[in-house]
A and B are shown apart, each in its own frame.
Chain A
Amino acid sequence: MTKPRIHNYTYDVVIVGAGGAGMRAAIEAGPHAKTAVISKLFPTRSHTGAAQGGMAAALANVEEDSWEWHTFDTVKGGDYLVDQDAAEILAKESVQAVIDLENMGLPFNRTPDGKIDQRRFGGHTRDHGKAPVRRSCYAADRTGHMILQTLYQNCVKLGIEFYNEFYVLDLVMVGEGKKRRPSAVVAYELATGDLHVFQAKSIVFATGGFGKIFKTTSNAHTLTGDGVGIIYRKGLPLEDMEFYQFHPTGLAGLGILLSEAARGEGGILRNASGERFMERYAPTIKDLAPRDMVARAMANEVREGRGAGPNKDYVLLDLTHLPPEVIDAKLPDITEFARTYLGVEPYTEPVPVFPTAHYAMGGIPTNIKAEVLSDNKTVVPGLYAAGECACVSVHGANRLGTNSLLDINVFGKRAGIYAVEYAKTAQHVPVPADAASEVIAMIEKVRKAKGNEKVAVLRKELQDTMDKNAQVYRTEDSLNEALDKIAELRARYENISIQDKGERFNTDLLEAIELGFLLDLAEVLVVTARERRESRGGHYREDFETRNDKKFMVHSMAYLTDKKVKKPGENIKIDWKPVTITNYQPMERKY
């Protein structure tokens, strides 16, 4: 074995991930503490940049609105699994979050009197469900791009230190039980193969999602859940992993996202016979119902034979009644995607669409200070998480559109503030001499593996089984089938080999390591989905079709144990955590 070169650093605050949440945290932390941001990508490559439609905030710039209505919509949209104290913070702090971004330079679309313009989005309503409300602040259909660019620009302005194309692969924890503390993270440098140990008082995870467990997804190739997987492997819990959002309008067959803004601006979903089928599923707000309901309605149209196209396997997003100048001004990017990738002209033809795996509602459990929890209540001092990787939980069982760009700004900012506060008085936790040993072992195992299985084959089989068995519709049988398949893939993963044995830019090696995280997270998703024998939000069980508040008005908490397993999934311990309710008792969810 060649001895790896190991470099050591000491910071007050280390942030893992340079998307929206990570950079928003860095902007708070950078001026007050010695801060580093470590990212597997150059910051502006992060997937925040792919978000399109907008960021919710009750500015009331174009019509009456209030943060209380926004809170209610978020709770109801999340099918009452939302922690309501967190949702109140999200809605209350949204206004300042948007103003922060404008002040930093974000080029929002404007109203005729020069204020930030707002538009409609799914599930956002006036006065507790009476009618759609204009709450989404936006910049054409590239709001995420503008947020990502603006945050990076401000990081440049503040001189934030970045370590780009560094893959964080381990979190070093020291001590036992409630005394266990984070000490450092260990990163693999893509360009050289060197290892870097970053000691910090506060460590913030802002590592994004893991959509690549599915085949049809709007997520980037790099969204492999490394951060969430690291936390899980440390024996810390993951919350509500069964709740995964399928966005209704992915380009059919490709999964590329077409923003809900298309429907916010007046677009209509139609089946093969041209019927506006959402009128049957959500009579009041129709095409602007929350994503879980629209995605299920679309899948149901296809299952019942009303799908469009030669294989009747998609529905149609109709924009042809919108004036071309509105399309050009408000939806330029997504209409270009339709032209580029499907050769469809949205001015004159409806666009083939089908649900695409989009967003993890679950993740690393945190409290409203973005502090990571080691059980239902106990905080891990010095460890924080924000953004899609975290579960605070403001999205509950189903996230409303425009609440994720809001989440990264509100809770990214909070993570930065509280990470600094902690670092001001805390001491560094000494880094053990063998801090990098787990990462060294992980890399050497893959590099030296001499098996005959290919990473790409295993990954594709994982994605196929997840699309088939754990997507919009789920049953005990389908989930057991997925779990058996994952167990088989785990065994075969022990028998892989890679072709690139080099040290420089070895993406072959990293794809193998990323697959390990994908297998872990897919397994947790399937096991928790099997245990939740009800239907709620994005989790729909055909064998338990109704919501069961008596039994399941609780968050799932999944822990990896070292238990020897006879059956797949037995190594995961499931616990349950109460939902925080402040003002809104669960009601039937009708739109």
Chain B
Amino acid sequence: MSAETKKIGEIPSFKVTLFVRRFNPEDGQDARWQDFDVEVFGTDRVLDALHKIKWEQDGSLTFRRSCAHGVCGSDAMRINGRNRLACKTLIKDLDITQPIYVEPIKGLAVEKDLVVDMNPFYQAYRDVKPFLIASDKPEKERLQSAEDRERFDDTTKCILCAACTTSCPVFWTDGQYFGPAAIVNAHRFIFDSRDEAAEVRLEILNDKEGVWRCRTTFNCTEACPRGIQVTKAIAEVKQAILRGRA
């Protein structure tokens, strides 16, 4: 739209095409691509486009979502081949001269359309003992220096969206691998000065399905919508197994 015809304050809209991977467990058909044309605005995210499809064109389109601004971790999906949160991916930032491809994250069984079975992912998380283990019974708060607090700051940001784990080629071929997210959550406690069970978690991850399966492809770091240095965290856990917690 040219500057002359655009009214002051008018929000420009444009048309995009989405190819969405569909699967309905109740219709007996294989998964397939379906295309939709949608009118969107400059501030719209991929989640808004999916909602427009669901609310205006096809109510059966199924996906998880909640907060819609990147903190609840419900809507990780593969957008143009990359794992992203649909609510954090602005459409205008994609190449809109081409269709936008949206499909479920890989490595977990597809339940319906963009919804996958997250249970194996959550189980791996629970298996690393993702909670503070400390024997002291303080009457007030435990003291912790700002430096000790900073040591594990990055990995406290995890929202369990599974974008990292389901971007990992090792996880795609071996669903038994703990995967980056579980290791990130172990890291969060291994490097917390208040915790006493680092050795237990390091032992859990010093396993053939543990950290040594990581091939350092950095897919996880690129996929993390919270900007966590996932590969670095995995490397620090490997180091801690070899040389003890630094």
Contact = CB atoms under 8 A, between A and B. Distances in A.
Interface of A: 41-42, 44-47, 49-50, 98-99, 102-105, 107-116, 139, 142, 145-146, 149, 153-154, 156-157, 191, 220-222, 253-254, 256, 309-311, 313, 333, 337, 340-342, 454-456, 498-500, 502-508
A534 B112 CA distance: 51
Interface residues of B, number: 57
B151 to A, nearest CB: 10
Given A44-B72, A220-B66, A502-B24, 20 more contacts: A41-B66, A41-B74, A42-B122, A50-B67, A50-B71, A105-B195, A110-B145, A112-B146, A114-B145, A145-B71, A220-B72, A310-B9, A337-B69, A342-B43, A455-B55, A499-B58, A499-B59, A504-B111, A505-B112, A507-B54
Contacts of B3: none
18 contacts: A42-B118, A47-B66, A50-B67, A99-B141, A105-B194, A112-B146, A114-B143, A114-B145, A142-B71, A157-B129, A191-B111, A253-B43, A309-B9, A333-B71, A341-B43, A455-B55, A499-B60, A505-B113
B6 to A, nearest CB: 10
Contact of B67 (A47, A340, A503): A47
A142 B157 contact: yes
Of listed A44, A47, A154, A253, residue having the most chain B CB within 10 A? A44
Given A114-B144, A499-B59, A503-B26, A145 B111 contact: no
Given A110-B149, A191-B111, A505-B112, A45 B9 contact: no
Given A102-B142, A105-B194, A191-B111, A341 B73 contact: no
Where chain A touches its partner, the secondary structure class is loop
Contacts of A342: 43
A505 B111 contact: yes
Nearest to B193: A114
A310 B192 CA distance: 49
B72 A153 contact: no
Contacts of B96: none
Contacts of A105: 131-132, 189, 192, 194-195
Contact of A340 (B68, B70, B130): B70
B8 interface: yes
A104 B146 CA distance: 18
Give the 10 A-B residue pairs with the shortest CB-CB distance, closest first.
Answer: A105-B132, A456-B55, A499-B59, A114-B143, A310-B9, A311-B9, A500-B60, A153-B131, A157-B131, A508-B59
A49 B131 contact: no
B95 interface: no
A455 to B, nearest CB: 8
B88 interface: yes
B215 interface: no
Contacts of A111: 146
B150 to A, nearest CB: 9
B229 to A, nearest CB: 14
Nearest to A337: B69
Interface in B97-123: 111-113, 115, 118, 122
Contacts of B111: 191, 504-505
